[in-house]
């Protein structure tokens, strides 16, 4: 007699398989129990005519679906628990994406077990677990590693005759089962059921695959990577939103994380208290959107804090930070603006390292790009210390906005069109509502937009957004007289500064009633600046201001330098290449003069918005 165990008798094996099959059917039956989330079928977009139930055309419906998918994708990228994953998936439900229910299965040895579900009854304490051999689409995904798409009840019935009745009982019309892959292996399966027929074309399949990848990453974060998540959350919490009020200045900030998978990326801002009531305002952007960029950002923030606390000026802070970044990672760079502000006096000492220029908003809503001389991004040339310091003075009611490029370029915009979007969001509203202005700027990127008279959702940002806004406060209760003012300096070796000065002057005069006078003002200012740069070895300082009410305002332009020689009017010959600056002032301006200073001189002129003609004036 053979001692080998030959197993149970045939009749017992048959009975065992029948019991296993019955158990599997009970599992499928438990999974497909419908509950309070059950819904009735809705018409597909465009099915009842040219517009769906919400009044949208098919093209509108497609855009709305895409935006919902982007929103859900971003929520998945930030999800840190299974509940947050299901909240993100539930947000997909819409006429354009008729979600009827969804479930997530995890893999345990050779079986599938239910992690959670939405749109199904919870089933009390019952668990759902099935072997890999079960005649169920999710089990086939685990066996083959490929998605299973079932566009109709008939196809479900033909391919999975054992379980299709139980699945169809819920009332779903189409199903998709997709593998959840992590580190090269299947770690779970995602079930998504639809209330309407879905043909699963290439676009739909691509969308589902992308969502499955995001779900995989989210589930992985719930089990691993807690240290990385803690780092990201800690960094983000240190850049919370809100306003800080100082004596003479109010500062507010915003941070919106990237959709790239982390809670925080490489963008940052900081507000650092300095001695004597001063403060440092910092905004920066480390190359990349991965955890390494976030880690580098945290170290750069610490370094900037340390250098600022040591008492270094803006140029020295950036130079030292650049060398520090090179020692950390020679392959990454970062852009940055560092401002040392005196809130009481309204003065700003600014150094820039490859970062986008700030935006200056005046009390009447006029916005302009404020050109700041600067050097290369941090980490590119660590041996160079070329970060010139720009000295500015904010006037009462003026606001300076600093941001990273995510605010400007998100949504397919370039630096020009993105600047227009920023300008349109900053211009409206009173100067006193700094918080509302910051909210509008963020909403212009991540919120609804109006297009052709209709409101639609816009995609969430594909890049981090860091935002800093500082306002020079009036210190008085009465309204500030509407005065616009710009102040800029041009060094001898900065020829591009002349073009930037012209650009800022045109922006100052953007709503001037007489366009010809704008050209006149730019011409005269260019002549005065050119005289300083060509005939002296001094730095030229331009100050331009507009005062009065619209329609009868006065423009005053002053150009100063530290040279001792006073200008004098000449009569240039026909072929002379210079000597016409003061002649043009005499002909084109309403008033002009030369004012000696304690050091150097100032040449000024004025133009009136309501002037019918121009009369020359004697010095």
- If DSSP codes are grouped into helix, strand and coil, which group holds residue 406? helix
Q: CA 248, CA 278: separation in Å to the nearest integer?
A: 11
Lowest mean pLDDT among 33-37, 395-399, 425-429, 430-434: 33-37
Q: What per-residue confidence (pLDDT) applies to 262?
A: 45
Q: What per-residue confidence (pLDDT) applies to 431?
A: 86
Q: What per-residue confidence (pLDDT) applies to 115?
A: 82
Work out the angle between the directed axes of helices 291-309 and 314-328 (0-180°, nearest 10). 140
Candidate ranges 46-50, 73-77, 478-482, 600-604; pick with highest mean pLDDT:
600-604
Would you state the structure tokens that stand for residue 188, as one six-digit string? 């779970």
Q: CA 221, CA 229: separation in Å to the nearest integer?
A: 8
- For residues 45 and 533, the model is more confident at 533
Domains (range + CATH), the chain: 16-224 (3.30.450.40), 236-472 (3.60.40.10), 484-608 (3.30.565.10)
Cβ contacts of residue 78 below 8 Å, gap of 6+? 84, 257, 263
Q: What per-residue confidence (pLDDT) applies to 175?
A: 93
Q: What per-residue confidence (pLDDT) applies to 215?
A: 86
Q: What per-residue confidence (pLDDT) applies to 210?
A: 85
Would you state the structure tokens that stand for residue 100, as one six-digit string? 């009827």
pLDDT band at 287 (very low <50, low <70, confident <90, very high): confident
- For residues 452 and 206, the model is more confident at 206
What is the strand order of the sheet 554-561 is part of?
A: 484-490, 540-547, 554-561, 601-608, 591-596
Q: What per-residue confidence (pLDDT) applies to 196?
A: 87
Digit-coded pLDDT (tens) for 209-232: 888 888 888 887 665 445 455 555
* pLDDT average, residue stretch 18-42: 51
pLDDT band at 1 (very low <50, low <70, confident <90, very high): very low
Per residue in 79-116, is it b (16+ CB within 10 Å) or e — as a string?
Answer: bbeeebbbebbbbbbbbbbbbbbbbbbbbeeebbebbb
The alpha helices in 152-238, defined as continuous H runs, are 153-159, 164-168, 202-223, 226-237
Digit-coded pLDDT (tens) for 53-85: 445 455 555 666 667 777 777 778 777 778 888
User: Do the Cβ atoms of 79 and 262 come closer than 8 Å?
Assistant: no
| % of the chain surpassing 70 pLDDT | 72
Digit-coded pLDDT (tens) for 301-328: 889 988 998 889 999 999 999 999 988 8
- For residues 6 and 372, the model is more confident at 372
Alpha carbon distances (Å) from 34 to 208, 332, 357, 564: 23, 53, 57, 90
Look-up: residue for tokens 């000065």?
501
The alpha helices in 384-427, defined as continuous H runs, are 405-409, 415-426
User: Do the Cβ atoms of 450 and 437 come closer than 8 Å?
Assistant: no
- Other beta carbons within 10 Å of 571: 8
Q: What per-residue confidence (pLDDT) applies to 456?
A: 45
Tally of helices (H runs) and strands (E runs) in the chain = 16, 25
- For residues 342 and 242, the model is more confident at 342
In the predicted structure, residue 617 carries a pLDDT above the cut 90: no
Q: CA 176, CA 195: separation in Å to the nearest integer?
A: 12
- For residues 539 and 239, the model is more confident at 539
Digit-coded pLDDT (tens) for 533-584: 888 888 889 999 888 888 888 899 999 998 877 765 555 444 444 456 678 8
* pLDDT average, residue stretch 331-350: 92
Look-up: residue for tokens 């606390």?
309
User: Do the Cβ atoms of 415 and 356 come closer than 8 Å?
Assistant: yes
* pLDDT average, residue stretch 113-118: 82
Cα-trace Rg, the chain: 33
Q: CA 334, CA 297: separation in Å to the nearest integer?
A: 9
- For residues 375 and 163, the model is more confident at 375
Q: CA 212, CA 188: separation in Å to the nearest integer?
A: 10
Work out the angle between the directed axes of helices 82-90 and 202-223 (0-180°, nearest 10). 160
Q: CA 340, CA 308: separation in Å to the nearest integer?
A: 9
Alpha carbon distances (Å) from 76 to 199, 407, 443: 25, 22, 20
What's the mean pLDDT when you consider all of the chain? 77
Look-up: residue for tokens 């769906």?
52
In the predicted structure, residue 6 carries a pLDDT above the cut 50: no
């Amino acid at each position: 007699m053979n001692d080998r165990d030959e197993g149970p008798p045939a009749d017992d094996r048959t009975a065992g398989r029948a019991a296993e099959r019955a158990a599997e059917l009970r599992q499928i039956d438990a999974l497909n129990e419908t509950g309070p989330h059950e819904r009735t079928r809705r018409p597909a977009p465009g099915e009842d005519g040219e517009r769906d139930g919400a009044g949208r055309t098919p093209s509108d419906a497609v855009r709305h679906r895409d935006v919902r998918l982007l929103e859900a994708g971003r929520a998945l990228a930030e999800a840190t628990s299974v509940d947050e994953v299901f909240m993100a998936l539930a947000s997909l439900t819409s006429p354009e994406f008729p979600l009827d229910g969804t479930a997530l299965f995890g893999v345990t040895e050779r079986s599938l077990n239910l992690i959670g579900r939405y749109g199904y009854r919870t089933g009390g304490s019952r668990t759902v677990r099935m072997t890999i051999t079960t005649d169920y689409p999710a089990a086939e995904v685990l066996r083959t590693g490929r998605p299973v798409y079932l566009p109709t009840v008939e196809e479900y019935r033909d391919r999975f005759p054992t379980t299709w009745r139980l699945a169809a009982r819920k009332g779903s019309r189409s199903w998709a089962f997709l593998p959840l892959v992590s580190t090269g292996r299947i770690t779970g399966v995602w079930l998504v059921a639809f209330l309407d027929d879905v043909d699963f074309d290439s676009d739909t399949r691509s969308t589902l695959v992308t969502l499955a990848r995001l779900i995989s990453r989210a589930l992985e974060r719930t089990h691993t990577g807690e240290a990385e998540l803690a780092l990201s959350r800690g960094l983000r919490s240190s850049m919370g939103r809100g306003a800080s009020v100082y004596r003479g200045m109010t500062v507010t900030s915003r941070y919106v994380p990237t959709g790239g998978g982390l809670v925080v990326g490489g963008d940052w801002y900081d507000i650092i208290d300095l001695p004597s009531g001063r403060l440092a305002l910092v905004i920066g952007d480390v190359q990349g959107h991965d955890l390494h960029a976030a880690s580098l950002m945290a170290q750069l923030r610490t370094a900037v804090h340390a250098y600022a606390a040591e008492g270094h000026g803006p140029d020295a802070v950036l130079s030292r930070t650049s060398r520090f970044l090179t020692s950390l990672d020679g392959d990454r760079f970062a852009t940055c603006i560092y401002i040392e502000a005196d809130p009481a006096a309204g003065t700003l000492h600014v150094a820039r390292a490859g970062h986008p220029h700030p935006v200056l908003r005046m009390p009447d809503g006029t916005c302009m790009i404020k050109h700041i001389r600067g050097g290369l991004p941090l980490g590119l040339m660590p041996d160079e210390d070329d970060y010139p310091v720009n000295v500015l003075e904010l006037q009462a009611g003026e606001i300076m906005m600093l941001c990273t490029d995510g605010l400007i370029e998100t949504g397919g915009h370039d630096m020009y069109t993105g600047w227009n979007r920023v300008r349109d969001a900053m211009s409206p509203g009173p100067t006193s509502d700094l918080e509302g202005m910051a909210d509008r700027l963020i909403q212009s990127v991540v919120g609804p937009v109006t297009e052709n008279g209709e409101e639609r959702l816009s995609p969430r940002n594909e890049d981090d957004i860091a935002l800093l806004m500082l306002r020079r406060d009036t210190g008085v209760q009465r309204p500030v007289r509407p005065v616009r003012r710009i102040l800029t300096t041009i060094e001898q070796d900065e020829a591009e500064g002349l073009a930037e000065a012209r650009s800022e002057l045109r922006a100052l005069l953007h709503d001037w009633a007489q366009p010809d006078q704008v050209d006149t003002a730019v011409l005269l200012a260019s002549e005065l600046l050119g005289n300083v740069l060509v005939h002296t070895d001094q730095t030229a300082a331009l100050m331009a201001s507009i005062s009065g009410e619209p329609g009868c305002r006065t423009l005053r332009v002053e150009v100063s330098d530290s040279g001792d020689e006073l200008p004098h009017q000449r009569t240039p010959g026909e072929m002379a290449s210079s000597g016409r600056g003061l002649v043009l002032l005499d002909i084109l301006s309403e008033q002009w003069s030369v004012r000696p200073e304690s050091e150097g001189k100032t040449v000024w002129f004025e133009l009136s918005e309501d002037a019918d003609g121009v009369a020359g004036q004697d010095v």
